[in-house]
Structure 1
Amino acid sequence: MLNCPSRRSNAALPAVEMAFNADLPDVDAKTDYAASGGTHSFSTGPGPGPNCLTDFPNCNWTNADTTLDGGIDPGSGFDGIVTDHRGAKLRQVTDGTANTIMAGEKWLPPRYYEDVIAPGDPPTGAKNPGDNNSLWEGYDYDNVRWPNQSNLPSKDTDVDPQFPTTTYWQLRMGSAHSSGMNVVHVDGSVHTVEYDIDPQTWDNLSKRNDGNVSTD
């Protein structure tokens, strides 16, 4: 199941953002869930070139800042589960699989439940960066979120409907539920996180390797 029944149906929505390597489809599949990118997001820049079709892995497949070849670069700041073109190995979840968030519900303002573009928005979907592409987009706001002390879990309604992009909601996890949102840890266990969770606890759960173990 890719959509939360408390939020919206599983119908595809109009595609609005042009891809660089494919024609724009009529519709995109959406998801209400996102993987944890850890506490830092990374600017990925241009994607890999066509030479990766024949030369992989000897090509620019990964973002140099988040390369995981031979282990995660300790200077990159990547402390989550997924990043640009790669993901953490199980042995790199040193805080424990039961203590680390792998994925959760993503925050989405109600004005974008059933349409990519709200009245008055530009036709590109630029005011809906967290849900303007398909669920297959890759390392993007649509299917990755970056939970930390500044990006606490939020109810979908906790956003100014007239200025939805000013709160950087596309970085956060959240849900349509009134009391809390759901996350799944790396060990596969499902937990409900209350919206008033302690910020430090939320930060600890989002990092797989900082040595600070918390339970939600």
Structure 2
Amino acid sequence: MSCTNNLKQIAIAAHNHHDTYGSFPTGFPDSVVSDAGNPEFAWNVDLFPFMELNNEYDALGASKVKLYEILNALGDLPGSTPVSGYPTQYQGFVYATSSFLEVWNCPSSANELFTSFSDGSFTDGNGTTYSNRYRRDEGVARATYVGCNGRNSNTGSADGGGIFVYNKSFKFRDIVDGTSNTFMVGEKGIPQSDKDTPSWLGVPKSPGNTIPPSCVTSTVAFPLNPGLSNPNTERFSFSSFHPGGGQFAFIDGSVHFISETISFSTNSSNLGTYQRLGDRRDGVPVGEY
């Protein structure tokens, strides 16, 4: 129930973003397309003001500076560095990225996501106090919910038909297969030891504490819950600690449990139901699932 409620809140926030700005957030924006080493805040952060995470949004500085500008200023300080060891103007950012945000984490996965960290308390310029309940693992915010990137074999720059892709934003009218037939957000329960543990912060990979696109989006090009036998498959896939499947929020705002036995096909001319649910524009009726 908690996981369902989390996904519902994310979907509602995405709808409110669309009502306010006329589109869903860009999956992973890129204002410096000539240099892949300049990470931007991902789609997740754009939803913070619609999720009662305004304090975290302000602490990140997301409305004022680019993520790469902050990371360049912070350099390669390791996660073991006390927050007081960071430049004063970025300590709020460090606390925000150290926060355990319940709405972005399924309770079944929470114990897999954090190492212990405590540095007393900190009050930012807006008077918000962050206490030592905040944790951090190498300065990267963790999540177990990622956006649907479509059905590419990876989550790179190509538009794979999902709702959250590289440098594009979409409107309701772009979901030609129907909002009740298209994934928006799903679970990703990769263990902490994997280099692509999910996050809500931003992409692409860069020097400093940031992450690749596979951490904020996943693809339906591989089955749900493929297992750890193939790390390159696991890193791009949706996965969950729920027995037998995973939870997904659809673009219409509904949340459904998807069985890991859902129809999946390696035949590109006859896609399975799972793949069709991940593509906003494939034009094929979904049917029962």
Please confirm whether the aligned pair reaches a TM-score higher than 0.5, indicating the same fold: yes
Structure 2 gap segments, 5+ residues each: 1-102, 117-136, 205-212, 265-271
d(CA) in 2 for partners of 1:79, 1:26: 32
C-alpha distance in 2, partners of 1:99/1:176? Answer: 24
Aligned residue number for residue 216 of structure 2: 143
Shift of residue 134, structure 1, vs aligned partner: 4.0
Quick check: 1:6 aligned with 2:108?
yes
**SS of 2:203's equivalent?**
coil
More helix by share: 2
Higher strand proportion? 1
Tell me if 1:85 matches 2:167: yes
1:13 is displaced (CA, Å) by: 4.8
CA distance in 1, matches of 2:138, 2:228: 29
> 1:130 is matched with which residue?
196
Shift in Å at residue 159 of structure 1?
A: 2.0
The change in CA–CA distance for 1:100 and 1:137 in structure 2 (over 3 A counts) is same
In the alignment, which residue of structure 2 is the partner of 1:154? 225
1:135–1:90 Cα change, 3 Å:
same
Higher RCO (CA 8 Å, separation ≥ 6 residues)? 1
State, as a whole percentage, how many aligned pairs show the same letter. 24
Letter of the structure 1 residue corresponding to residue 228 of structure 2: V
Residues 62-113 of structure 1 deviation map (CA, whole Å, 9 limit, x = unaligned): xxxx5xxxxxxxxxx531101113232211100000000011001414xx2x
The answer to whether the 8 A contact 2:148-2:162 is kept is: yes
Q: TM-score, normalised by structure 2?
A: 0.47
Question: How many residues are aligned here?
Answer: 150
State the SS of the aligned residue for 2:186.
strand
User: RMSD of aligned C-alpha atoms?
Assistant: 2.5
The secondary structure found in structure 2 opposite 1:183 is strand
For structure 1, which runs of at least 5 residues remain unmatched after alignment? 15-24, 45-65, 67-76, 118-127
3-state SS of 1:29 partner: coil
Deviations, residues 44-75 of structure 1 (Å, cap 9, x unaligned): 4xxxxxxxxxxxxxxxxxxxxx5xxxxxxxxx
